[in-house]
A and B are shown apart, each in its own frame.
Chain A
């Protein structure tokens, strides 16, 4: 390995440098953009068969699952079949060391009848959270993604036509942003072309209406002709009918012409809407018929403002320099999404209650609803209050678990993200810091789960002293 890379590293560095130059020329400069909920991908990247928008934290957690499964497969394959075999070295050995160390660690805390279950939960949570936390150290996570203009605070909405401005920043991506020129999914349409297409649609609609009208008038003439020639036997009644026919014919004429006109315009609108839904809309001012007619003078200023803000022609063009661009990363650290931390916290909570019921049976509930001493001792009411506090405290565990992990890792990833915007080389000490924060948070999460599970297996009154007696 080493001999292969000798003397070639400089070319790798040169290649990376050239790649950086290429990216710098190709991609507009971005501003740091921080968002607490997982960023939704632009439309078109939905999860198939489900009506759910993909978020980048979900992608991150899927990667964590895959890596963890590969890890499990690898470790179970490499495990020596019997004790005499020489264990394979390297990565497997490292895992075995970690495993045994943590086993002893947990055994010191929660060694007992339920050690197996507690240790399984501990190790699972530890590995999942550790991998999720360490994802922020991987280059490309949080930095490579869709590039789109950021107009959240630049555009004040009254009508919210493009759903550009939102309170929570979600509709930014659903509306017209996330143009994703990076992956070339969207075809750019310049505002001039868009306006020209609008004009063309208008003229086409007018032409269609005219054609329908002409057709109808020919039809009407033919009908009149027919009616005149059918005049023989029916007498006055046909006269009345004739009159009705012409009236009806005129009404139909105008209606159908209007329908044809509307049809063409609707097709054009649907096209624009489709592009907007694909998040490829270039953000020109709405078509004349969308704003409700010819009051261009009234809306002139407003439309111009909109135009300036929403106009993002080519990212490399002169106008693009005045638009703030942001990155919507493909992958974000899953622990920075409350959904992930909350779900692990809920799993931990459920397991704590499960092991409590498993160890103590229905008597576990007396921990929370302790009425046994209410009428026996003068201070029985305190026991009831303590039980209720324990109940509240158990639910508070969910919050404390999830927010602790979220806060630590989100703050850490903001730290790395923000530092990367200052100087390229600067963040490396923070990477080391985050390495340890990731380990400690994973350990704390798993350790607290193990301790609470162990506490839940211990009954309140008699077993306490019993255990103490046993320990001493």
Chain B
């Protein structure tokens, strides 16, 4: 196997492994939105407040997944 292929192989595997971190973000977003929707269903009057907090929580949870994405993007396109 020539070195170039090895590098590509390593980069692909590394980027794929890095994206495992996105699973946590997905779970977190699911929990947050699920809870928020339940709360909104029980208490529709408070929808705006709940929605704001939900978006915030989702943004924080998503940020973690985005870090994983950035790491894998750096592995793919910046590392050489």
Contact = CB atoms under 8 A, between A and B. Distances in A.
B4 A168 contact: no
A270 interface: no
Q: Main SS of chain B's interface residues?
A: helix
Interface residues of A, number: 25
A36 B55 contact: no
Interface residues of B, number: 19
A167 B7 CA distance: 12
A383 B65 CA distance: 30
Contact of A406 (B4, B59, B70): B70
A448 interface: yes
B56 A447 contact: yes
Nearest to A400: B63
A391 to B, nearest CB: 19
A407 B80 contact: no
A364 interface: no
Q: Main SS of chain A's interface residues?
A: helix
Contacts of B66: 403-404, 407-408
B78 to A, nearest CB: 5
B36 interface: no
Interface in B60-80: 62-63, 66-67, 69-70, 73-74, 76-78, 80
Given A403-B63, A404-B63, A448-B59, A36 B80 contact: no
Interface string A408-425: 101100000000000000
A440 B55 CA distance: 9
Interface in A166-187: 166-168
Contacts of B74: 36
Contact of A447 (B55, B76, B78, B80): B55
Interface of B: 4, 48-49, 52, 55-56, 59, 62-63, 66-67, 69-70, 73-74, 76-78, 80
13 contacts: A34-B77, A36-B77, A36-B78, A37-B78, A105-B52, A108-B49, A108-B52, A109-B52, A403-B63, A406-B70, A407-B67, A408-B62, A444-B55
